[in-house]
Amino acid sequence: MRSIGRLGQPALPFRCGFPVSVPFRRVTMHVDMSDLDTPIPPPAPAGPTDLAGLTPDELSALVVELGGKAFQGRQLFRWIHRKGVTDFAAMTTLPKVLRARLAEQAVVTTPEIVRRDSSADGTTKLLLRLDDGRQIESVFIPDTPSQTFCISTQVGCAMKCGFCLTGTMGLARHLTAAEIAGQVRVLARELGFLDTPFNIVVMGMGEPLHNYDATMKALNLLGSEEGLHVSPRRVTLSTVGIVPGLEKLAKEPYMPNLAISLHATTEEQRDRLVPINRKYPLAQLMAACRDFPLKKRSRITFEYVMLAGENDTPADARRLVKLLGGLKAKVNLLPLNEADGIPYTRPSDERVDAFAQILANAHITVSVRKSRGRDIRAACGQLAVEKSA
């Protein structure tokens, strides 16, 4: 990472999902965003009860129904979420009778590792298969400076941002809370982090606030003292700006750090790059950011993917300074991770540095992201899987 001007915490990776290697041409996308009003639900539950998505209180109530004690529900939660154990026979602090009843009536669904790819820079990407056969990707990014898990909230994405490979998949379905939290359990188990602190960025496949309830339940499962006990200070949620979701998030007791995928400084420009802007315009988004409650030392991170000839000019930088005026903000600049299928190219380092210097001169904390995992297509904007199920 190259950093310019005032620096706070090192920049986090953001939306692990874009790319291009074709000459620049301006593209106008015609995208119907009406499906946001009727979001695609996760699969309807069938068969045994899935314990992976239940809170400690919900597990306690279930255990009591099965003839056990309430405290044993919390023990069950610890086995699943803190120790990563999913075999009831191995949960030795629970009575044998209760374990037998759980084995008859319940399961603990866990994403299955299909493939594990390792980058030359230490980044690890997991291709995971869900119970219905669909696949998602999760990423471990070491030394950022903390150890960071990048997790997904949907199979695909409905936002169709013009520079993101994930958006080319479309939206197959939402993930359940169990599937979202399950990615962290798998990463922690596979990489030896069950007893080691780590950060989480909700920046993988999908838009978290489009799958609001499942995302927030998953974060609360991960934050539970009975489980991995991940502090909200260690979690960053990235959104393109679904304003009603931001307004709900502002009232949550478990409050993650907030990152806004901005990428543009005018309504017309953002309409083109981030089509959700047509439903929730830039002016409305920035008003929601100004109203968002921040702790004393907190700031909102604004993510800005830099596209050659599109949003990387000095005029764009000056408009960004004006747009962020008065906000407690920091900016993460990400020169585009190029790949086939995206009609934009990466700007030169000189262009990026000149843009960053304008922000720094205006006393805005700015960092330029060094992409991680590009050789295994695990960098920001590059997460995409073949259609499955």
Q: Please state, as a whole number, how many other Cβ atoms lie within 10 Å of the Cβ of residue 341.
A: 12
pLDDT digits (tens, 9 = 90+) for 311-338: 999 999 999 999 999 999 999 999 998 8
Determine the pLDDT at residue 120. 86
> Quick check: bond before 145 cis, omega within 30?
yes
What average pLDDT does the segment 174-191 reach? 96
CATH number of 2-6+13-33+110-376: 3.20.20.70
Q: What is the pLDDT of residue 34?
A: 52
* 303, β-bridge pairs: 261, 332
Is 65 among the residues known to form the active site? no
Q: Which CATH architecture has domain 49-107?
A: Orthogonal Bundle (1.10)
Q: Which residue has the higher pLDDT, 6 or 248?
A: 248
Q: Residue 138, SS3? A: strand
Name which residue leads in pLDDT, 147 or 374. 147
Q: At 177, is the pLDDT very low, low, confident or very high (cuts 50, 70, 90)?
A: very high
How far is Cα 233 from Cα 210, in angstroms, rounded to an integer? 22
Instruction: Give the pLDDT of residue 341.
Output: 78
Query: Is 303 assigned a catalytic role?
Result: no
Distance CA 8, CA 226 (A): 32
Kindly give the pairing relationship between strand 135-141 and strand 2-4: unpaired
Asked whether 39 and 212 are in contact (CB, 8 A), the reply is no
Which pLDDT does position 42 carry in this prediction? Answer: 60
Q: Are 238 and 251 in contact (CB under 8 A)?
A: no
The domain segmentation of the chain, as residue ranges, is 2-6+13-33+110-376, 49-107
Predicted confidence band at 136 (pLDDT cuts at 50, 70, 90)? very high
Q: What residue has token string 């990407």?
A: 125
Residue 16's pLDDT is 44
Task: Name, in order, each residue with C-beta under 8 angstroms of 159's C-beta and a sequence gap of 6 or more.
Answer: 167, 207, 210, 240, 274, 275, 276
Place of tokens 């909700």: 202
Catalytic residue among 58, 104, 137, 386: 137
Which member of 16, 157, 289, 380 is catalytic?
A: 380
Mean local confidence (pLDDT), 165-176: 90
The token pair at 88 is: 């009831």
pLDDT for residue 374: 54
Give the pTM. 0.85
pLDDT tens digits, 17-27: 433 333 333 33
Domains 2-6+13-33+110-376 and 49-107 share a fold: no
